[in-house]
Amino acid sequence: MKTLYQYAIVRFMPHAETGEFANVGIVLCAPELGLIDFRLAPTRFARVTDFFEDLNGKLYKATLQTVEEELQRLNAYAGKLAAKDLAMHMQEVVRPRETLVRYSELRTLYLEKKPEAVLNQLFEQLVHRTFLTEEYQENLMVKVIRQQLRDEKLTHFKQQKLQDNLIEVTLPLVAKTNDLFVIRPLAFRQRTATRVLDHAEHWLGRFRRLINHQVLQKQNILLPLQGPVSTDNKLQAAFKEVEQELTIFGVQTLEYQDKAGISQFARQALQTNGFKLQ
């Protein structure tokens, strides 16, 4: 017999101004079973504290302990509530708040599985595996580049939203000087060639639109690239094709480890004349 489940992802967001967060848990509700359960990452979770490199580990630990206490109280109370009331309590739990912990929107599943199995599956998929995605890797790349620029007193690159008449794109490193300049790291560590090409096409489409609508200029876009770790021939061939497409398109690319090239681009963004990496 299938059961209706509602769940939300628990997110740790210590720096609201950057919007960066890490998935650190799952809250699961089965209203008809009178159940609310949860699973949180360990309070010593190196992947979180490594991601927020300037973070005091005690803050993460204390925050997670507070969340755990709140969810434990709700867990104990859940069995006393009717299904409708329990669903309303779940909505209150995930209501947006300006705190260190945020919840994703409430999501629904209809499965023929026991709650414990559903909770464990969601946790593995949305918390543990989060740190294996290109999004996580690119966030790390942004943090490294941002710190490099900060160390070199090149603080004019900030997270900004750029938009045309229809879409809005949030970019992590944008400088508004004599013109708009963008540094956008891209990681190509996907498991299949199709996903490598899809990821490239996604960002090519975004930049093509911003350029066509005269929001950006091609020569003012720098894409530090991180290629596949695997030596798989298809992955390597797909990445080489991506590099060629970006070159043909006309944006500037370099290897993510090329700190000198990144710094050179960032410095030239302060000058009035155009710039092209040599």
Q: What is the pTM of this model?
A: 0.58
Report the number of distinct structural domains present in the chain: 2
Do 121 and 42 lie in one domain? The reply is: yes
Q: How far is CA 86 from CA 35, 102, 159, in A?
A: 8, 20, 39
What's the CATH code of the domain at 185? 3.40.1350
Do 11 and 46 lie in one domain? The reply is: yes
Which residues does residue 221 pair with via DSSP β-bridges, in sequence order?
Answer: 182
54: pLDDT confidence band, cut at 50, 70 and 90? Answer: low
Q: Tokens in use for 83? A: 């299904």
pLDDT at 209: 95
Do 105 and 27 lie in one domain? The reply is: yes
Is residue 17 predicted with pLDDT exceeding 80?
Answer: no
Give the pLDDT mean for 206-235.
Answer: 94
State which of 113, 130, 147 marks the end of a domain: 130
The verdict on residue 263 lying in a domain is yes
State which of 63, 98, 130 marks the end of a domain: 130
State which of 73, 102, 130 marks the end of a domain: 130
Q: Which domain holds residue 94?
A: 3-130
Which residues does residue 61 pair with via DSSP β-bridges, in sequence order?
Answer: none
The verdict on residue 97 lying in a domain is yes
Instruction: Classify residue 19 as left (phi > 0), alpha (psi -120 to 50) or beta.
Output: left
Here the contacts of 207-212 (C-beta below 8 Å, separation 24 or greater) are 207/249, 207/251, 208/249, 209/164, 209/167, 210/162, 210/164, 210/169
Per-residue model confidence as pLDDT tens digits over 136-169: 788 889 989 999 999 999 989 999 999 998 889 9
Do 143 and 262 lie in one domain? The reply is: yes
Is residue 263 predicted with pLDDT exceeding 70?
Answer: yes
Number of helices (H) and strands (E) in the chain: give both, helices first: 8, 11
Do 110 and 138 lie in one domain? The reply is: no
Better pLDDT: 103 or 276? 103
Per-residue model confidence as pLDDT tens digits over 83-140: 999 999 999 989 988 889 999 999 999 999 999 999 999 998 888 765 556 777 888 8
Is residue 11 predicted with pLDDT exceeding 90?
Answer: yes
Do 105 and 168 lie in one domain? The reply is: no
